[in-house]
Chain A
Amino acid sequence: MSDAVQEPAQAVKQSRARLLLVEIRRFVLIFLAASFFLFLALESMPEDPVSLRVKNPDPERIAEIRDSLGLNDPWLTRYVRGVGDFLTLDWGESLISGRPVAGEVARYLPATLELAVLGILFGVSFGLALVLSAHATGWTWLLQPVRGMGALGLTVPIFWIGILFVLVFSVQLGWLPVGGRFDFAYEAPRITGFLLLDSLLVWDLHAFWIACRHLVLPVLTLGLYPAAVVAGTLEARLGESFLERLVTALKSRGFSPARVWGRHVLRLVSGPVVTVIGTQAGALLGGAVLTETVYSWPGMGRFLVDGVLNRDLFVIQHGLLLVVVLALCIVTVSDLIATRLDHQLQNREDS
């Protein structure tokens, strides 16, 4: 290979490595900032969480418990130990239930992840399908709901949509369950905590069906917002003149609509779509917490809210930090994917 070809490839590799370093640095900085904010918040708690949990508070007993939990150590030691404990998954025990926090999180987190991942997948596919099929077929009336959906995210509360779905599909039509993650009368398979996956692993199709029925309404509710965001972004991007010229050129070469839109255009517009999903990570997590509350979904949302309201020290410390780490992971991964997609675009344009 000649030097002229090697040099741009080397430059792309270097810029990717630099980007990765920038993302890692941002990840570490935000993690440290979040853990420090949390530490400060826990330090400023108006009540002592230990004395709240001890029946007949006796100062000696409280001091003993605080010593055993290391709460009387210097602040820097406690902060560093807290970060270390988080990273090593040594999350202590809940002051309310007495159960290990890491175990509780492992019980609730799969339910939240299953819901969030399916919600995002549904939202993104629905938004993409709507806009691309409207452009590919020339049925411009399909774009009307897209324009309406843009306003939806800013005018309709997600928890209200959830309640409307329950009212129509569960209470009135009786098609789907009102809430919960599984039927009480049937024993759920437990291997990984992800019910869809577990029921397939043990090949219990009835359990799979039950889990699917319980997921439909929460996934629809949670997916509407990403669908609106993706459809809006995509529609704006497709209005750009270079894309219009590209579509005309590809059509004139005799490519089928599926190939033009599904292969070429989709590749070009997926970068901004991925970025938008990443920047909406916080809103998506908030939406997941609200959706869980509407459908009595046994996920992290209720666990965290109860933990904060009950001043459950270790639940707050590690559970909240986990939320930030999850949001950060989505942002970082989406940034990296988007940049990779944009590089492809750049290379293609260069060639």
Chain B
Amino acid sequence: MKALISLRRLPDAWASFILVFALSGLLFTPYPSREQAFRDRALEGPSWAHPLGIDGLGRDFFSRLWEGSGHTVALAVIALLITLGVAALLVSIERIFPNSIGRFVRMGVGLWVAFPVIFIGLLLLVFLNPSPFTLVLAVGFGNLAFAFRQLRVFWMATRNALYVQSSEVLGSRGWALFRWAIWPNLVPDIFALARLLFAMSALELSGLAFLGLIGDPDFAELGAILKQNQPYLYQAPALAILPGAILSLILLSVHLSRFHR
């Protein structure tokens, strides 16, 4: 039985390992990811010293991919936190003042949902310089309407549930009601939403970086790395295939995980 339980947790362990491994690329890589230290060996295939070879500008490709994975995960997590934080704030405001400000918030979200994320990204780039920070803001605010609607539905379903109303009848109020009756039942839904938002954010971020909107061409991010290596598709296809494969692996691992399910 214990063995079965531990098997059920295998996807969680795998997803955690992948995420931690990707993020560790921000702290350590075998070679500096920006330094073009091996220009004379550009597009050289794998070797013991460089397991994934050298890219077209003479950089160790393994180091760039590792750091790139870390950047993609970290930026997607920041975008996800912005989305969830602002959406939770808006849901709270909408619930506290349902008639006055709430109506305004609902109308605003109704309008916001029609704006494509790419429009929001390009709009931000009009007055902010292209940078990872700009892309994070674009994605964070781009997914806001979706997150708000989902959170609102989760909140209303949990708030109106029979066990919450029973707690209220038994005298539970305010923070105590939230902490002991609502929050524990809201957590699984919030985790499921976070998983979805993480995938959406990572894909949108990499897409915007692929379009060249990340600014610094040397910044290691999986979408940007893929774009940079697209011209070498004939000579060294692995340089263009691997960044996408790693992004898919990360997202698939998170998608299959069972955190709080």
Spell out A's residues near B (CB within 8 Å).
Answer: 26, 29-30, 33-34, 37-38, 41-42, 44-46, 151, 154-160, 163-164, 166-167, 171, 279, 281-283, 285-286, 289-290, 293-294, 301, 304-305, 308-309, 311, 316, 320, 323-324, 327-328, 331
Beyond A159-B207, A160-B244, list 17 extra A-B contacts (CB 8 Å): A26-B110, A29-B111, A38-B123, A44-B126, A45-B127, A155-B251, A160-B226, A160-B247, A171-B234, A282-B116, A282-B118, A286-B207, A305-B211, A305-B213, A309-B212, A309-B213, A328-B114
Residues of A close to B234: CB separation below 8 A:
171
For chain B, give the interface size range.
35 or more
Asked if B163 is at the interface (CB within 8 A of a chain A CB), the reply is no
- Cβ distance B193 to chain A, nearest Cβ, rounded Å: 13
Bound together, the chains give a CA A151 to CA B203 distance in angstroms of 13
Residue in A33, A155, A157, A327 whose beta carbon sits within 8 Å of that of B116 in the complex: A327
Spell out B's residues near A (CB within 8 Å).
Answer: 110-111, 113-119, 122-127, 129-130, 196, 199-200, 203-204, 206-207, 210-213, 223, 226-227, 230, 233-234, 237, 240-241, 243-245, 247-248, 251-252, 255
Q: Which 9 A-B pairs have the closest CB atoms?
A: A160-B244, A282-B116, A44-B127, A155-B251, A286-B118, A41-B126, A154-B199, A155-B252, A308-B122
Residue in A45, A160, A163 whose beta carbon sits within 8 Å of that of B126 in the complex: A45
- Contact present for A281 and B111 (CB under 8 Å): no
Residues of B close to A293: CB separation below 8 A:
210-211, 227
* Chain A residue nearest to B108 in the complex (CB): A33
Residues of B close to A166: CB separation below 8 A:
233
Asked if A282 meets B119 with Cβ closer than 8 Å, knowing A44-B127, A151-B255, the reply is yes
Asked if A154 meets B200 with Cβ closer than 8 Å, knowing A37-B123, A320-B123, the reply is yes
Bound together, the chains give a CA A37 to CA B206 distance in angstroms of 25
Asked if A163 meets B240 with Cβ closer than 8 Å, knowing A42-B126, A154-B199, the reply is yes
- Contact present for A290 and B210 (CB under 8 Å): yes
Residue in B203, B212, B213, B237 whose beta carbon sits within 8 Å of that of A157 in the complex: B203
* Chain A residue nearest to B253 in the complex (CB): A155
Residues of A close to B203: CB separation below 8 A:
154, 157
Residues of B close to A289: CB separation below 8 A:
118, 211
- Contact present for A167 and B248 (CB under 8 Å): no
- Contact present for A324 and B212 (CB under 8 Å): no
Residue in A46, A171, A304 whose beta carbon sits within 8 Å of that of B122 in the complex: A304
- Cβ distance B101 to chain A, nearest Cβ, rounded Å: 18
Residues of B close to A37: CB separation below 8 A:
123
Residues of B close to A34: CB separation below 8 A:
115, 119
Residues of A close to B227: CB separation below 8 A:
159, 293
Residues of A close to B244: CB separation below 8 A:
156-157, 159-160, 163-164
Residues of A close to B233: CB separation below 8 A:
163, 166-167, 171
Q: 23 pairs across A/B with beta carbons < 8 Å? A: A30-B115, A34-B115, A41-B126, A44-B126, A45-B126, A151-B255, A154-B251, A156-B251, A157-B207, A160-B243, A163-B226, A163-B230, A166-B233, A167-B240, A171-B233, A282-B114, A282-B117, A286-B118, A290-B207, A290-B211, A294-B230, A308-B122, A324-B119
- Contact present for B211 and A323 (CB under 8 Å): no
- Contact present for A155 and B241 (CB under 8 Å): no
Bound together, the chains give a CA A44 to CA B245 distance in angstroms of 39
Residue in A151, A154, A158 whose beta carbon sits within 8 Å of that of B207 in the complex: A158
- Contact present for A160 and B248 (CB under 8 Å): yes
- Cβ distance B112 to chain A, nearest Cβ, rounded Å: 9
- Cβ distance B122 to chain A, nearest Cβ, rounded Å: 5
Bound together, the chains give a CA A181 to CA B1 distance in angstroms of 60
Residues of A close to B115: CB separation below 8 A:
30, 34, 282, 324, 327
- Contact present for B126 and A331 (CB under 8 Å): no
* Chain A residue nearest to B128 in the complex (CB): A46
- Cβ distance A176 to chain B, nearest Cβ, rounded Å: 14
* Chain B residue nearest to A286 in the complex (CB): B118
- Contact present for A151 and B248 (CB under 8 Å): no
* Chain B residue nearest to A46 in the complex (CB): B127
- Cβ distance A237 to chain B, nearest Cβ, rounded Å: 19
Bound together, the chains give a CA A228 to CA B62 distance in angstroms of 33
Bound together, the chains give a CA A186 to CA B226 distance in angstroms of 32
Residues of B close to A157: CB separation below 8 A:
203, 206-207, 210, 223, 244, 247-248
